[in-house]
């Protein structure tokens, strides 16, 4: 008997529980390895197992919640021998810290294997990404799997059985008295994962002018020299002796502002400057400066130290003094810190939440006082939460963000991002 392989499925959101239950109902020996399981997922495939509990030879689970382990107890009550159930606790290591003595976020079991031996020496296996959860098996998650069918003695099935055997060897036997401990271990893993998200909290809310320029040979600016450039009129809080200007010089000008920001560490020269004068409108008709950033973003010297600007409408004049020929590494943000983000829902990609197997999940939400969910909609994007704070000079600031195409920008927040701090 040859081996056949079926790809499941062209669409990521596809119900697979029916196929698995069909094979389980005919299976004489079943082995399952899953990274995660929920009560809803166990309910989806539980009926054929409860009808023939002796057919379940191996069930290895990587993690679950307390209710999930209670669902395993239901399999035991149905007659599944306790020595068939196993919990894989992953790998860990001492952390060296007294608060959390072991590494909580660590390598875990993520295999998803549903192997079944059928009559007439045949076998099948579902190999892919489907955990034993209602969302995965019911077609709500985006998943992918392949179904392998054929002679159980084929080398492909031998390799699958070896994988299951090794996962079982690494696992610890399940015991109903340990479900609180197993649940705690998973909670520790989740807490460790949350710590790995590391959304920065060390942002400093301060306006910084970023100037990206290039210089054609010759000498470079020195400490004490002044630089002239222009930014959109109406930008507030750009005050003398308060606002820093971070100047980045490139041998070859980057293609766009975002490329310039991403390449700040590779800039040929970086300077810390400070504003010493800001003039709205036409401003000064003559300024005493040593350098000018012109309309092509080139930094050019002013031999006479006297420059007569021709300021376009809607721009304001800025003079800054070089205070240091070095600059720490920063990450820059061009909007205020957000308290949250709202999803943008698709009107096309919709999953009916009232179709089995999601009824159980909906019922649980309603029991907790949650709103009834009629459908799941694809989140096509996220956007700043409605009502988020905007700057009073936001229109002017919009002309000094990377999307504007300008190479002189105004950031609202910054944080140190040198290698020592990042480590």
Torsion, Cα 87 93 96 102, to 10 degrees, reads: -10
DSSP 135: H
The whole-angstrom distance between residue 389's C-alpha and the CA centroid of its chain comes to 24
Sequential pLDDT tens for the chain (423 residues): 689 999 998 889 999 999 999 999 999 999 999 999 999 999 999 999 999 999 999 999 999 999 999 999 999 999 999 999 999 999 999 999 898 899 999 999 999 999 999 999 999 999 999 999 999 999 989 999 999 999 999 999 999 999 999 999 999 999 999 999 999 999 999 999 998 998 888 999 999 999 999 987 788 999 999 999 999 999 988 876 689 999 999 989 999 999 999 999 989 999 999 999 887 655 678 889 999 999 899 999 998 889 988 888 889 999 999 999 999 999 999 988 877 889 999 988 888 765 444 455 544 544 455 566 778 899 999 888 876 677 889 999 999 999 999 999 999 999 998 644 444
The whole-angstrom distance between residue 169's C-alpha and the CA centroid of its chain comes to 33
Domains of the chain: 4-197 (3.30.870.10), 204-334+395-422 (no CATH), 341-384 (no CATH)
Rounded to two decimals, the pTM is: 0.81
Helix, strand, or coil here: 143?
coil
Q: How many helices (H) and strands (E) does the chain have?
A: 10, 21
Give the burial class of 381: count Cβ atoms within 10 A of its Cβ; 0-12 exposed, 13-18 middle, 19 or more buried.
Answer: exposed
Classify residue 388 as left (phi > 0), alpha (psi -120 to 50) or beta. beta
In this structure, the chain runs to a length of 423
Cα angle 24-76-113, degrees, rounded to a multiple of 5: 40
């Amino acid at each position: 008997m040859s081996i056949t392989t079926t790809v499941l499925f062209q669409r990521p959101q596809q119900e697979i529980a029916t196929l698995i239950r069909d094979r389980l109902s005919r299976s004489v020996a079943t082995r399952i390895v899953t990274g995660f399981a929920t009560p809803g997922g166990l309910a989806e495939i539980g009926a054929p197992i409860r009808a023939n509990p002796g057919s379940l030879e191996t069930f290895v689970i990587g993690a679950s919640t307390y209710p999930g382990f209670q669902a395993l107890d239901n399999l035991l009550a149905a007659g599944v021998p306790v020595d068939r159930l196993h919990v894989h606790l992953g790998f860990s290591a001492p952390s060296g810290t007294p608060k959390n003595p072991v590494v909580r976020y660590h390598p875990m079991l993520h295999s998803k294997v549903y192997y079944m031996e059928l009559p007439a020496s045949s076998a099948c296996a579902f190999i892919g990404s489907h955990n034993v959860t209602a969302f995965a098996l019911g077609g709500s998650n985006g998943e992918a799997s392949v179904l392998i069918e054929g002679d159980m003695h084929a080398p492909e099935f031998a390799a699958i059985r070896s994988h299951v055997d090794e996962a079982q060897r690494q696992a610890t036997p399940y015991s109903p008295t340990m479900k609180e401990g197993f649940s705690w271990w998973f909670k520790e893993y989740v807490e460790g994962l949350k710590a790995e998200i590391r959304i920065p909290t060390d942002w400093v809310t301060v306006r910084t002018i970023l100037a990206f320029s290039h210089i054609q040979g010759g000498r470079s600016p020195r400490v004490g020299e002044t630089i002239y450039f222009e930014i959109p009129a109406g930008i507030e809080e750009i005050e003398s002796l308060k606002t820093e200007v971070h100047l980045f010089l490139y041998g070859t000008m980057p293609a766009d502002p975002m490329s310039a920001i991403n390449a700040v560490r590779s800039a040929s020269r970086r300077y810390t400057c400070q504003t010493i004068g800001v003039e709205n409108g036409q401003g000064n008709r003559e300024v005493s400066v040593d350098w000018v950033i012109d309309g092509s973003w080139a930094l050019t010297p002013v031999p006479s130290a006297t420059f007569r600007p021709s300021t376009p409408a809607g721009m304001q004049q800025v003079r800054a003094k070089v205070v240091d020929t070095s600059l720490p590494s920063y990450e820059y943000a061009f909007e205020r810190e957000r308290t949250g983000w709202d999803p943008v829902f698709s009107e096309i990609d919709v999953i009916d939440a009232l179709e089995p197997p999601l009824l159980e999940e909906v019922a649980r939400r309603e029991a907790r006082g949650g709103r009834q969910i009629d459908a799941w909609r694809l989140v096509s994007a996220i956007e700043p939460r409605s009502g988020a704070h905007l700057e009073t000079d936001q229109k002017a600031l919009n002309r000094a963000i990377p999307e504007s195409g300008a190479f002189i920008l105004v950031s609202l927040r910054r944080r140190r991002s040198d290698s020592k701090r990042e480590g």
